[in-house]
Amino acid sequence: MASTNDLKNGLVLNIDGQLWSVVEFQHVKPGKGPAFVRTKLKGVTNGKVVARTFNAGVKVETANVDKRDMQYLYQEGEDFVFMDTSDYEQITVSAATVDTAANFMLEGQEVIVALHDGVPLYVELPASVVMEITYTEPGLQGDRSSAGTKPATIQTGYQIQVPLFLETGTKVKVDTRSGDYLGRVND
């Protein structure tokens, strides 16, 4: 159990038997009336985002979430296989749980897998990853402006938008939350 004063981003709450992750929270002290906490919660299993308000100081039930450093090994059909880097135990995580993280995972990559009672909840990636462009249309002479973009396919098969001057084989930094191009990486 925790108080609403202890809320922080990423904390997982157990509300009515469902797990909710705190995305945003704000303590509000109006001039008149009691203080309250306004939150934005994301359903851990369904991804649904809801707004919820709690009175200040109210007890909320927290869920015991175990975040483990794991290495992505390979994909087996629709499922993904990860290995715990501390005890080398392997777990299989469904594609629905991995969700959009699959767009930026390469074999051997370190990730964080959140578990609740041994059940995988979600896969957390670093904020950005370095990927190689496997295919993009060739750049034309003079395409050096930052105004235009073109589609490019990265190693995982996911397509992102990159500046016109980038070519196949170029390594780029990609934001794992939005899929945005962040910059070119020089070896």
Q: Where do runs of H (alpha helix) occur along the chain? A: 95-98
Sheet of strand 66-76: strand arrangement: 90-93, 79-84, 66-76, 110-116, 119-124
Structural domains in the chain (count): 3
Residues 6+ apart with CB under 8 A from 75: 81
pLDDT of the residue at 124: 87
Residue 43 is part of a domain; what is its CATH number?
2.30.30.30
7 and 56, same domain (yes or no):
yes
Hey, how many other C-beta atoms are within 10 angstroms of the C-beta on 181? 20
Whether 53 and 71 share a structural domain: no
137 CB-contact burial (10 Å; exposed 0-12 / middle 13-18 / buried 19+): exposed
Q: What's the confidence (pLDDT) of residue 6?
A: 85
CA-CA distance, 101 to 147, in Å (whole number)? 28
Per-residue pLDDT at 47: 76
Q: Does one domain contain both 27 and 75?
A: no
Structural domain span for residue 153: 128-185
Q: What are phi and psi of 147, to 5 degrees?
A: -75, -40
- Which pLDDT belongs to residue 79? 92
Query: At which of 124, 156, 172 does a domain end?
Result: 124
Q: Which of 60, 92, 108 is the last residue of a domain?
A: 60
Element containing residue 41 per DSSP (H, E): strand 36-43
CATH of the domain at 80: 2.40.50.140
- One pLDDT digit (tens) per residue for the chain, 187 residues: 888 888 888 788 888 888 888 888 999 999 888 999 999 998 887 778 899 999 988 899 988 888 899 999 999 999 999 999 999 999 999 888 888 889 999 999 999 998 888 888 888 888 899 999 999 888 665 556 556 788 999 999 999 998 888 888 999 999 988 889 998 888 6
